[in-house]
């Protein structure tokens, strides 16, 4: 298991190094494979659990080449919560996406991969979309005390998008639930709209009502993308 975790980490770091070592070129920005974005949310709720306190800024930097996407995503708030995740994914034409994510929490030693205090949780994931139906499966490879993963943590989610809203239900174990046992932890309804600011600039806004039956918590989140 440890060797598999190291391989996943090496895969992600290799692509991250490749991106950072690319020389800057004068190109048409509309054709650039690099993209930068940021979301701002009233609070950060992930798979039915709230992280941090107060509004969260979630920046991302991504490199896309055909069906391959490689990047870094993070979440930061004024209360001090921080997260910076490396990810890589490949999307097939028939709706399947396969990927890997390295969850890391700034403030912990970056090169600590131990079971007791490790700062990285390595996950492999798969998603499938067919019309309005979406399915996802996620599996944590390693135990990391600092990142709070138990090892072999699983999470599955099913969702369906209607014309004006979507519904979803997720269940997992390990770091997803209060006692580590498999249970539903993420039930919700979400919707979105676009606010037109000018003829050339609009802001996508989305909101979700999320209930975690395992922890008996109800959340309301609203956010917008830049």
Task: Assess if residue 157 is contained within a domain.
Answer: yes
Residue 195 lies in a domain: no
In a domain, 83, yes or no: yes
220 domain residue, yes or no: no
Any idea which residue has 């910076």 for tokens?
84
pLDDT value at residue 10? 53
Residue 218, domain member (yes or no): no
Tell whether the model's pLDDT for residue 4 goes beyond 60. Answer: no
Q: For the chain, how many structural domains are there in total?
A: 1
Q: 10-14, 29-33, 172-176: which has the highest mean pLDDT?
A: 172-176
pLDDT digits (tens, 9 = 90+) for 49-102: 999 998 999 999 999 999 999 999 999 999 999 999 999 999 999 999 999 999
Judge whether 47 lies within some domain.
Answer: yes
From the list 186, 169, 167, the residue with the least C-alpha distance to 177 is 186
Each residue of 102-144: pLDDT tens digit? 999 999 999 999 999 999 999 999 999 999 999 999 999 999 9
The pair of three-digit structure tokens given for residue 61, joined into one six-digit string:
């930097």
Q: Indicate the pLDDT class of residue 24, thresholds 50, 70 and 90.
A: very low
Position 173 in a domain: no
Instruction: Look at residue 50 and tell me if it is in a domain.
Output: yes
> Which residue segment(s) compose the domain that 158 sits in?
2-22+33-163
């Amino acid at each position: 298991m440890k060797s598999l975790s190291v391989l996943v980490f090496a895969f992600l770091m290799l692509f991250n190094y490749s991106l950072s070592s690319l020389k800057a070129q004068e190109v048409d920005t509309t054709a650039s494979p690099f993209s930068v974005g940021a979301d701002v949310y009233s609070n950060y709720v992930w798979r039915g659990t709230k992280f941090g306190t107060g509004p969260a800024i979630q920046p991302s930097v991504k490199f896309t080449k055909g069906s391959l996407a490689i990047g870094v995503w993070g979440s930061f708030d004024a209360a001090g919560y921080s997260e910076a995740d490396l990810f890589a994914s490949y999307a097939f034409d028939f709706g399947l996406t396969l990927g890997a994510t390295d969850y890391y929490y700034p403030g912990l030693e970056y090169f600590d991969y131990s079971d007791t205090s490790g700062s990285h949780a390595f996950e492999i994931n798969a998603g499938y979309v067919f019309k309005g139906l979406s399915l996802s499966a996620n599996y944590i490879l390693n135990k990391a005390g600092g990142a709070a993963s138990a090892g072999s943590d699983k999470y599955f989610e099913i969702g369906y998008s209607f014309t004006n809203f979507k519904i979803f239900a997720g269940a997992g174990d390990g770091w997803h639930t209060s006692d580590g046992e498999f249970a539903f932890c993420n039930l919700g309804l979400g919707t979105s709209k676009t606010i037109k600011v000018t003829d050339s600039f609009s802001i996508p806004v989305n909101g979700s009502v999320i209930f975690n039956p395992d922890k008996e918590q109800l959340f309301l989140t609203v956010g917008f993308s830049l």
